[in-house]
Amino acid sequence: MAALGIGILGSGNGTNCRAILERIREGSLCAEARVVISDVFDSRILHIAREFGVPNAYLPPGSFKTKLAVDAEDALVRMLRDSAVELVVLAGFMRLLKAPVLTAYAGRILNIHPSLLPKFPGLEAWKQALAAGETVTGCTVHYVDAGVDTGEIIAQREVAILPNDTAESLHERIQLAEHALYPEAISRFCE
Protein backbone atom coordinates (compact mmCIF):
# COMPACT_ATOMS: atom_id res chain seq x y z
CA MET A 1 0.00 0.00 0.00
CA ALA A 2 1.45 3.37 -1.02
CA ALA A 3 1.86 5.97 1.69
CA LEU A 4 -0.62 8.84 1.60
CA GLY A 5 1.09 12.18 0.89
CA ILE A 6 0.10 14.68 3.55
CA GLY A 7 0.81 18.38 3.96
CA ILE A 8 0.63 19.77 7.49
CA LEU A 9 -0.29 23.41 8.11
CA GLY A 10 0.29 25.03 11.50
CA SER A 11 0.84 28.32 13.26
CA GLY A 12 2.21 27.35 16.65
CA ASN A 13 3.84 24.75 18.84
CA GLY A 14 3.18 21.81 16.55
CA THR A 15 2.29 19.20 19.18
CA ASN A 16 -0.22 17.50 16.85
CA CYS A 17 2.33 17.68 14.04
CA ARG A 18 4.86 15.91 16.29
CA ALA A 19 2.31 13.21 17.19
CA ILE A 20 1.58 12.59 13.49
CA LEU A 21 5.26 12.51 12.51
CA GLU A 22 6.06 10.12 15.37
CA ARG A 23 3.32 7.72 14.19
CA ILE A 24 4.66 7.88 10.64
CA ARG A 25 8.22 7.21 11.83
CA GLU A 26 7.19 4.22 13.97
CA GLY A 27 5.18 2.78 11.06
CA SER A 28 1.72 2.91 12.63
CA LEU A 29 0.48 5.59 10.19
CA CYS A 30 0.84 4.77 6.49
CA ALA A 31 1.46 8.34 5.37
CA GLU A 32 4.35 10.44 4.19
CA ALA A 33 4.66 14.01 5.39
CA ARG A 34 5.61 15.78 2.18
CA VAL A 35 5.68 19.33 3.55
CA VAL A 36 5.00 21.35 6.71
CA ILE A 37 3.93 24.96 6.10
CA SER A 38 3.49 27.73 8.66
CA ASP A 39 2.14 31.26 8.46
CA VAL A 40 4.38 32.21 11.41
CA PHE A 41 8.03 32.79 10.48
CA ASP A 42 9.83 31.09 13.37
CA SER A 43 7.06 28.85 14.67
CA ARG A 44 7.88 25.74 16.67
CA ILE A 45 6.09 23.56 14.08
CA LEU A 46 8.79 24.41 11.49
CA HIS A 47 11.51 23.37 13.95
CA ILE A 48 9.69 20.06 14.51
CA ALA A 49 9.51 19.49 10.74
CA ARG A 50 13.28 20.02 10.47
CA GLU A 51 13.87 17.66 13.41
CA PHE A 52 12.00 14.94 11.48
CA GLY A 53 13.65 15.82 8.15
CA VAL A 54 10.40 16.99 6.55
CA PRO A 55 10.55 19.74 3.90
CA ASN A 56 9.10 22.89 5.42
CA ALA A 57 8.33 26.45 4.48
CA TYR A 58 7.14 29.77 5.83
CA LEU A 59 4.15 31.21 3.95
CA PRO A 60 3.87 35.01 4.33
CA PRO A 61 0.16 35.34 5.18
CA GLY A 62 -0.52 38.91 4.04
CA SER A 63 -2.11 41.67 6.06
CA PHE A 64 -5.26 39.92 7.36
CA LYS A 65 -5.40 38.56 10.92
CA THR A 66 -7.78 35.62 10.44
CA LYS A 67 -7.30 34.55 6.83
CA LEU A 68 -4.62 34.41 4.15
CA ALA A 69 -4.36 37.07 1.47
CA VAL A 70 -5.56 35.80 -1.94
CA ASP A 71 -2.00 35.65 -3.33
CA ALA A 72 -0.93 33.69 -0.22
CA GLU A 73 -3.79 31.20 -0.76
CA ASP A 74 -2.72 30.79 -4.39
CA ALA A 75 0.90 30.28 -3.26
CA LEU A 76 -0.26 27.71 -0.69
CA VAL A 77 -2.08 25.70 -3.36
CA ARG A 78 1.07 25.74 -5.53
CA MET A 79 3.26 24.65 -2.59
CA LEU A 80 0.91 21.77 -1.75
CA ARG A 81 0.63 20.63 -5.37
CA ASP A 82 4.40 20.94 -5.94
CA SER A 83 4.88 18.67 -2.91
CA ALA A 84 2.38 16.10 -4.27
CA VAL A 85 0.14 16.51 -1.23
CA GLU A 86 -3.01 14.38 -1.34
CA LEU A 87 -4.46 15.26 2.09
CA VAL A 88 -4.12 18.61 3.91
CA VAL A 89 -3.89 18.33 7.69
CA LEU A 90 -4.41 21.44 9.81
CA ALA A 91 -2.51 21.23 13.08
CA GLY A 92 -3.09 24.47 14.93
CA PHE A 93 -3.38 26.54 11.76
CA MET A 94 -5.01 29.75 12.99
CA ARG A 95 -6.39 31.11 9.72
CA LEU A 96 -9.58 30.37 7.84
CA LEU A 97 -9.02 28.82 4.43
CA LYS A 98 -10.91 30.24 1.46
CA ALA A 99 -11.84 29.28 -2.11
CA PRO A 100 -8.42 28.63 -3.70
CA VAL A 101 -7.43 25.97 -1.15
CA LEU A 102 -10.96 24.72 -0.42
CA THR A 103 -11.55 24.21 -4.16
CA ALA A 104 -8.18 22.60 -4.90
CA TYR A 105 -8.48 20.18 -1.97
CA ALA A 106 -12.26 19.77 -1.66
CA GLY A 107 -13.04 16.92 0.74
CA ARG A 108 -9.34 16.47 1.47
CA ILE A 109 -8.68 18.98 4.28
CA LEU A 110 -8.87 17.91 7.92
CA ASN A 111 -8.76 19.89 11.16
CA ILE A 112 -8.68 18.98 14.83
CA HIS A 113 -10.61 21.14 17.27
CA PRO A 114 -10.44 21.08 21.10
CA SER A 115 -14.15 20.55 21.81
CA LEU A 116 -16.95 18.14 20.98
CA LEU A 117 -18.29 20.05 18.00
CA PRO A 118 -20.77 21.50 17.29
CA LYS A 119 -20.32 22.80 20.84
CA PHE A 120 -17.75 25.57 21.34
CA PRO A 121 -16.37 26.35 17.88
CA GLY A 122 -13.69 29.01 17.53
CA LEU A 123 -10.83 30.04 19.76
CA GLU A 124 -9.97 28.59 23.19
CA ALA A 125 -12.83 26.09 23.19
CA TRP A 126 -11.62 24.48 26.42
CA LYS A 127 -12.11 27.81 28.23
CA GLN A 128 -15.60 28.07 26.71
CA ALA A 129 -16.44 24.58 28.03
CA LEU A 130 -15.18 25.44 31.53
CA ALA A 131 -17.09 28.73 31.59
CA ALA A 132 -20.29 26.92 30.52
CA GLY A 133 -20.02 24.50 33.46
CA GLU A 134 -19.71 21.41 31.24
CA THR A 135 -18.67 18.10 32.80
CA VAL A 136 -17.37 16.61 29.54
CA THR A 137 -15.60 18.11 26.56
CA GLY A 138 -13.03 16.62 24.20
CA CYS A 139 -11.75 16.93 20.67
CA THR A 140 -13.12 16.57 17.16
CA VAL A 141 -11.52 15.78 13.81
CA HIS A 142 -13.60 17.29 11.01
CA TYR A 143 -13.51 18.20 7.35
CA VAL A 144 -12.73 21.85 6.67
CA ASP A 145 -15.30 23.97 4.88
CA ALA A 146 -15.77 27.74 4.53
CA GLY A 147 -17.18 28.11 8.06
CA VAL A 148 -15.50 28.19 11.47
CA ASP A 149 -15.32 24.57 12.69
CA THR A 150 -18.52 23.69 10.80
CA GLY A 151 -17.33 20.85 8.54
CA GLU A 152 -18.61 17.28 8.71
CA ILE A 153 -17.39 15.44 11.82
CA ILE A 154 -15.08 12.47 11.23
CA ALA A 155 -14.18 11.39 14.78
CA GLN A 156 -14.47 12.58 18.39
CA ARG A 157 -12.95 11.69 21.74
CA GLU A 158 -14.38 12.70 25.11
CA VAL A 159 -12.35 14.21 27.95
CA ALA A 160 -13.89 14.57 31.41
CA ILE A 161 -13.78 17.99 33.03
CA LEU A 162 -12.58 17.45 36.60
CA PRO A 163 -13.84 19.54 39.54
CA ASN A 164 -10.41 21.14 40.13
CA ASP A 165 -9.57 21.71 36.44
CA THR A 166 -7.96 24.93 35.34
CA ALA A 167 -7.96 26.05 31.71
CA GLU A 168 -4.34 24.84 31.49
CA SER A 169 -4.90 21.38 33.02
CA LEU A 170 -7.97 20.76 30.87
CA HIS A 171 -6.23 21.92 27.69
CA GLU A 172 -3.30 19.61 28.45
CA ARG A 173 -5.59 16.56 28.74
CA ILE A 174 -7.49 17.52 25.58
CA GLN A 175 -4.17 17.74 23.72
CA LEU A 176 -3.25 14.22 24.86
CA ALA A 177 -6.56 13.00 23.42
CA GLU A 178 -5.88 14.94 20.20
CA HIS A 179 -2.44 13.33 19.82
CA ALA A 180 -4.09 9.88 19.82
CA LEU A 181 -7.23 10.72 17.82
CA TYR A 182 -5.73 12.72 14.93
CA PRO A 183 -3.33 10.04 13.62
CA GLU A 184 -6.15 7.47 13.93
CA ALA A 185 -8.46 9.67 11.86
CA ILE A 186 -5.78 10.32 9.24
CA SER A 187 -5.12 6.58 8.96
CA ARG A 188 -8.68 6.10 7.63
CA PHE A 189 -7.62 8.01 4.51
CA CYS A 190 -4.63 5.73 4.05
CA GLU A 191 -6.80 2.64 3.57
Question: Which residues are catalytically annotated?
Answer: 113
Residue pair 23/185 in contact by the 8 Å Cβ criterion: no
Measure the CA–CA gap between 56 and 48, rounded to whole angstroms: 10
Q: Please enumerate in sequence order all residues whose Cβ is within 8 A of that of 27, keeping only pairs 6 or more positions apart, or say none.
A: none
Q: How far is CA 94 from CA 5, 26, 134, 184, in A?
A: 22, 28, 25, 22
Measure the CA–CA gap between 114 and 146, rounded to whole angstroms: 19
Among residues 33, 13, 9, 19, the alpha carbon closest in space to that of 190 is found at 33
3-class secondary structure, 174: helix
Among residues 27, 34, 25, 26, the alpha carbon closest in space to that of 4 is found at 34
